[in-house]
Structure 1
Amino acid sequence: MRVEIWSDIACPWCYVGKARFEKALAAFPHREQVEVVHRSFELDPGRAKDDVQPVVAMLTKKYGMSEAQAHDGEDNLGRQAAAEGLAYRTRGRDHGSTFDMHRLLHLAKEHGRQSELLDALYRANFAEERSVFTEGGERLVELAVAAGLDADAARKVLADPDAYAAEVRADEREAAQLGASGVPFFVLDRKYGVSGAQPAEVFTQALTQAWGERSPLTLLQGGDSDGDACGPDGCAVPRS
């Protein structure tokens, strides 16, 4: 079974939702047969790389809330994150473009390190004092290396603005086609969708339902009930 998760590194609910989903997946009896693929979704796709501002300033401008309301929202997110065992800085974070991060996540996918890099980016953005937006490409290279990627490979991607750009945009188009207007957005076997950072119990229910409703394989038989085949114990002996 495949679970696809659309998310953005700038999205605090994606940070919390990943932890909740993984809690449900860890307790799922068939977890070893579940493939998890992380897909790209930018909350601010047109933002320039050098357009960085404090999170509170972004919230007041984008959503028309007061600074007090923005701080209250950050405090609530801090409590939600703490309940999942996640560190969360409620003050002093930045907001900026995540496009380069998504491009690196596609590189990481090719090397089987996608979840590790996503975790590193989330921690850097939400828990650490250093900004992922103001320190330049070497900060992202540092995080890529911490996730198990080659530094030169990461630098090569960041130096080429076209590297994995098509893959990021393809993910975002697909999200729109599936009806995702926000993230996190979870799709199970292209049959069920779960929107938002739901409680772990909701993810458990979704995994159980999607697993139980998978269509069993129907074998088409010819003249013999079992045709010749190869298996773990060898191949069938040709019949005369």
Structure 2
Amino acid sequence: MRIEIWADVVCPWAYIGKRRLETALASPAMSARDIEVVWRPYLIDPTAPAEAVPMEPAPRDPMVDDAAGRCAVDAPTTVSPGTADDGVPVSRIAAAEGLGPNWGAAWRSSSHDAHRLLALAHEHGGSTLQDTVTEHLMRAHFVEGQDISARDTLRTLAITAGFAEASALLDTDAADRTVRELRLIGKARGIRTSPTIVVGDRALAGAQPPDVIADFLATASPARDAPEEVGRLRYAESLLDLRDPLGALTLLRPLLDEHGDDLNVRRLAARAYFTSAQLGRALEALEQLVEDLPDDSYLRLMLGRTLQRLDLHEQAAPHLKIAAAMTPEFA
């Protein structure tokens, strides 16, 4: 069974959640199962600076407050911002999970490169190496007060974790696209909290207690195997529904390169071009689609609206008329 943890390495609840998951997996019922834990990227603070700044002034920053809202427990039995137990310091909860004795991040910065390192660790050494690197990153950030956005820090942590190859890879764009695509996939799958544990189609949000995690895992079913191309198409469509056409196009790019003749790929790309106001590309794609599928009323409608937005009203009129005739609600 594959367990995916969608989390940000700079989210304190992600580190606490890691310990609680480890406790759940150490139970006799879980330890007998074949389980793989994979860490996936989630950013609680997308606006964090590339160069680290001291954490002390951060609480006065509303963007940091917003980031804290995406890093939560969401469990009534444990402490979470906004609950009745709000006054209990996170450091006390961390200490109860064996984290410390010192606790507290010293720096606010982008965690993108840290997520690149985790993606590279999984690519080169599988889930075991990735989990080791995750532990080193989180301990460095929360216990040792290191700046894990600094390349030198990341290189040192990677070498200490047994991943010396990362030293050279971090100076390239290796895994950059992987991380960006995974973040989009997380968005498409509805990930809104760090950490979120996902098994198959079920998700458990927040750093839940070990017994809650164990119950979740006991009733979870592995994901159904499906071609990667099918997943990309579904996630791209979900992003369009979430009004993120550029994200959809990012996921569609490999499909357009490899399966550019597939009608489903072409239709979705045309929708994304239209929604993102790339009207020239939308027009080209829709004209070809309407030629191939002249009886598709929705394609006619989109083509007509694209022509309207290009101020080509006379050319738009017949397509809109045909679309309305075939599907009256398009009138």
CA change 1:38–1:214 in 2 (3 A) is closer
CA change 1:199–1:5 in 2 (3 A) is same
Q: Which entry has the higher C-alpha Rg, 1 or 2?
A: 2
Q: Summarize deviations over 1:147-202 as a string: whole Å, max 9, x none.
A: 1101xx22322211x210111112111111111112101101x2221000011110
- For the pair 1:178 / 2:189, whether they are aligned, the reply is yes
The one-letter amino acid paired with 1:163 is A
- For the pair 1:148 / 2:162, whether they are aligned, the reply is yes
- For the pair 1:192 / 2:206, whether they are aligned, the reply is no
In 2, the alpha carbon distance for the partners of 1:130 and 1:210 equals 37
The one-letter amino acid paired with 2:182 is D
Q: How does 1:79-98 map to 2 (within 5 A)?
A: 79-87=92-100, 89-90=102-103, 93-98=106-111
Runs of 4+ off more than 6 Å? 72-75
Match among 171, 177, 184 for residue 159 of structure 1: 171
Greater mean alpha carbon deviation, residues 83-92 or residues 109-118: 83-92
- For the pair 1:76 / 2:86, whether they are aligned, the reply is no
The secondary structure found in structure 2 opposite 1:6 is strand
The secondary structure found in structure 2 opposite 1:4 is strand
In 1, the alpha carbon distance for the partners of 2:7 and 2:184 equals 13
Query: 1:85 Cα deviation (Å)?
Result: 0.6
Q: Which runs of 5+ in 2 are unaligned?
A: 67-80, 225-331
Which residue is equivalent to 2:41? 40
- For the pair 1:25 / 2:35, whether they are aligned, the reply is no
Which residue is equivalent to 2:326? none
Quick one: higher RCO (CA 8 Å, sep 6+), 1 or 2?
A: 1
The one-letter amino acid paired with 1:107 is L
Q: Summarize deviations over 1:31-59 as a string: whole Å, max 9, x none.
A: 34111111111222343421x22334222
Which structure dedicates a bigger proportion of its chain to helix?
A: 2
CA change 1:146–1:79 in 2 (3 A) is same
Which residue is equivalent to 2:116? 103
Which residue is equivalent to 2:136? 120
Q: Summarize deviations over 1:115-143 as a string: whole Å, max 9, x none.
A: 0000000000000144334xx31211110
CA change 1:88–1:39 in 2 (3 A) is farther
| Equivalent pair of 2:13/2:207 in contact (CA under 8 Å) | yes
Greater mean alpha carbon deviation, residues 87-96 or residues 120-129: 87-96
Superposition RMSD on alpha carbons, in Å? 2.5
Match among 196, 213, 219 for residue 203 of structure 1: 213
Q: TM-score scaled to structure 1, two decimals?
A: 0.76
Q: Summarize deviations over 1:62-100 as a string: whole Å, max 9, x none.
A: 229xxxx9xx97971101111111116445611111111
Which structure dedicates a bigger proportion of its chain to strand?
A: 1
Q: How does 1:132-143 map to 2 (within 5 A)?
A: 132-133=148-149, 136-143=150-157
Aligned residues: 201
Q: Which runs of 5+ in 1 are unaligned?
A: 216-240
The secondary structure found in structure 1 opposite 2:20 is helix
Which residue is equivalent to 2:247? none
Work out the percentage of aligned pairs sharing the same amino acid. 34
